[in-house]
Amino acid sequence: MPDKDVPTRNTRSRRGFFSVAFGRGAVAALMLLVQFGFVFVLFGRLQQYSIYVSGAVTVLTVVFLAYLLNTPQDPTVKLTWCFVIALVPVFGVLLYLFITFDVGHREEQRLLLKVVSDSAGLMPEQTELMERLRTEEPSFYPLAVYAARRNGYAVYENTAVTYFSSGEAKYEELLRQLEKAERFIFLEYFIVEEGQMWDRVLDILKAKVLQGVEVRMIYDGTCSLMRLPASYPKTLRAMGIQCKVFAPIRPFISTSYNNRDHRKILVVDGKVGFTGGVNLADEYINRRQRFGHWKDAAVMLTGDGVRSMTLMFLRMWNVTEKERVYEPYLNAPGPRREDMPGCVIPYGDSPMDDERTGEMIYLDMIYSARERLYIMTPYLILDSELLTAITFAARRGVDVRIILPGIPDKKYANLLAKGHYKALVSAGVHIYEYAPGFVHSKVFLADDTRAVVGTLNLDYRSLYLNFECGAYLYKVPAIGDILRDFEDTFPRCRPVTAETVARQKLSTRLGAAILKLAAPLM
């Protein structure tokens, strides 16, 4: 029998159905249909001027196609937009302008960039460390410069790293660390859903509030569509938990809905910080079965490196605050792990600046790999830069292996991944499908000296559109644990061979080819 305090699957399904059918999501969808219907009627009334309209549309199409071909965008993105504009010229141009001009979040962008600019001086001065890296670690130094100067993310020594090869392992440690909280707890998650996992966390948060611990929480607005009631922030505030919803879904058209907060950050007292793929819902710890066994990964940082994770959370929180406070949280006394070798760079990625930090860090790892490059990712929807980098690594003799889900959560994503199989396998890349179920881990490993564990998937949404975060690890002992996780996982996978690719169904090939045209817009 299920725990009476935990919603059963049927209860969740009913709540999900009613929240979609009668909630703000349904209203938003209805309003969007009404607005698009108005546009169709408007253009229908212009039919009497069809000759002039046709000529204008032709000129508009040619001009925009010429403009697109000369923009500094990824070639795959250009191809997609050219296809859309050629297929539906007027709507394609309007859609392109709508997205390019960021209708709906110019003000958000201005505020976020101001918050980042105003807090740039809060990162530690690292002149001595950077000079030492330049002379002692010349292969790592350029990335450290890129992270610090271009993005404002510091490099830290004196930081212990614990790697968790499953959501269950992260969950157990997370509970232990929450119980130790004395001053503050910060949570920022993409998915939160009532169930055994979140209920246990919430019990601890409520108890900590009563002990005088400050608790702040941010979760993404898509949760309100199916996972949480729209009034849930009020429920948490009544418990003493400060809560904000990132970009809640409302009934109006805005590009802000295209940029989701996909980060997973938990900070306790400025001493301990978690990130990785694990959200706060039961499937992440296999208390609920969705796509077979759910494999995920996370890391815990202890020591100096937690400062950047704390700052990332505070920047997101302070976007809507008039009074922006940082110092009491960034200067929280914590353990200095001076016995720990290596360096860490906790970093974030924002769609509201001109820098694709997450992709640049992945590309740096791929191009710097000499012996091995291991990747674990739920999605494989590659732009031309990543596809070129990965295949080139295999062609120059690097042992490149990619682990993907054996039971995918999204059919279209699985088709798009299979669309890359031929190019990757023919270049010498080894692809594995996790037979027991779904892989949600986002882990890169290069040459046993570098690794990234974070929230960034290998798809356009993570690399171009979402707020993301990760931890770059260099020569820390936990990299050995990451390597062992890969070595333990490979035997549980189905290898994808040239024969596997040759046996792909025609429908799979056609579906992948068609979906590739729209991949950057998904």
Q: Establish if 351 belongs to a structural domain.
A: no
Most distant CA atoms of the chain, gap in Å:
79
In the listed set 292, 318, 345, which residue is the last one of a domain according to the structure? 345
HEC readout, 481-513: HHHHHHHHHHHHEEEECHHHHHCCCHHHHHHHH
Chain position carrying tokens 């959560």 = 409
Query: Helices in 369-505 by DSSP H: which ranges?
Result: 384-395, 411-427, 460, 478-489, 498-502
Closest CA to 310 of 170, 148, 188, 211: 188
In this structure, the answer to whether residues 83 and 139 fall within a common structural domain is no
Q: Establish if 474 belongs to a structural domain.
A: yes
- In contact, 217 and 187? CB cutoff 8 Å: yes
pLDDT at 157 over 60: yes
- In contact, 223 and 244? CB cutoff 8 Å: no
Quote the CA–CA distance of 348 and 308 in Å, as a whole number: 9
Closest CA to 209 of 228, 170, 245, 236: 236
Label the pairing between strands 372-376 and 493-496: unpaired
pLDDT at 201 over 80: yes
In this structure, the answer to whether residues 153 and 194 fall within a common structural domain is yes
Quote the CA–CA distance of 219 and 191 in Å, as a whole number: 7
Q: Establish if 269 belongs to a structural domain.
A: yes
In this structure, the answer to whether residues 123 and 72 fall within a common structural domain is no
In this structure, the answer to whether residues 313 and 362 fall within a common structural domain is no
Task: Write the CATH number for 297.
Answer: 3.30.870.10
Q: Establish if 434 belongs to a structural domain.
A: yes
Q: Given this model, what pLDDT does residue 279 score?
A: 97
Q: Establish if 3 belongs to a structural domain.
A: no
Give percent helix, percent strand, percent coil of the chain, each to the nearest 5.
Answer: 50, 20, 30
Q: Establish if 505 belongs to a structural domain.
A: yes
In this structure, the answer to whether residues 280 and 132 fall within a common structural domain is yes
As a whole number, the mean pLDDT across the chain is: 85
Question: DSSP secondary-structure letter at 356?
Answer: -
Closest CA to 369 of 391, 354, 385: 391
Cα separations in angstroms, 394 against 46, 403, 427: 55, 15, 6
In the listed set 50, 77, 100, which residue is the last one of a domain according to the structure? 100
Q: Mind listing the pLDDT tens digit for each residue in 93-145?
A: 777 776 666 655 666 777 777 888 788 788 888 888 999 999 999 999 999 99
**Number of domains comprising the chain:** 3
In this structure, the answer to whether residues 122 and 76 fall within a common structural domain is no
Q: Establish if 512 belongs to a structural domain.
A: yes
Angle CA 226–417–163, to nearest 5: 70
Q: How confident is the model at residue 23 (pLDDT cuts 50, 70, 90)?
A: very low
In the listed set 319, 345, 371, which residue is the last one of a domain according to the structure? 345
In this structure, the answer to whether residues 187 and 258 fall within a common structural domain is yes
Q: How confident is the model at residue 24 (pLDDT cuts 50, 70, 90)?
A: very low
Q: Given this model, what pLDDT does residue 141 score?
A: 95
In this structure, the answer to whether residues 450 and 510 fall within a common structural domain is yes
**26-40, 153-167, 203-217, 456-470: which has the minimum mean pLDDT?**
26-40
In this structure, the answer to whether residues 157 and 24 fall within a common structural domain is no
Range of the structural domain that residue 407 is part of: 357-521
Mean pLDDT, residues 242-265: 78
In this structure, the answer to whether residues 252 and 272 fall within a common structural domain is yes
pLDDT at 15 over 50: no
In this structure, the answer to whether residues 224 and 250 fall within a common structural domain is yes
Q: Establish if 2 belongs to a structural domain.
A: no
Mean pLDDT, residues 446-463: 95
In this structure, the answer to whether residues 341 and 365 fall within a common structural domain is no
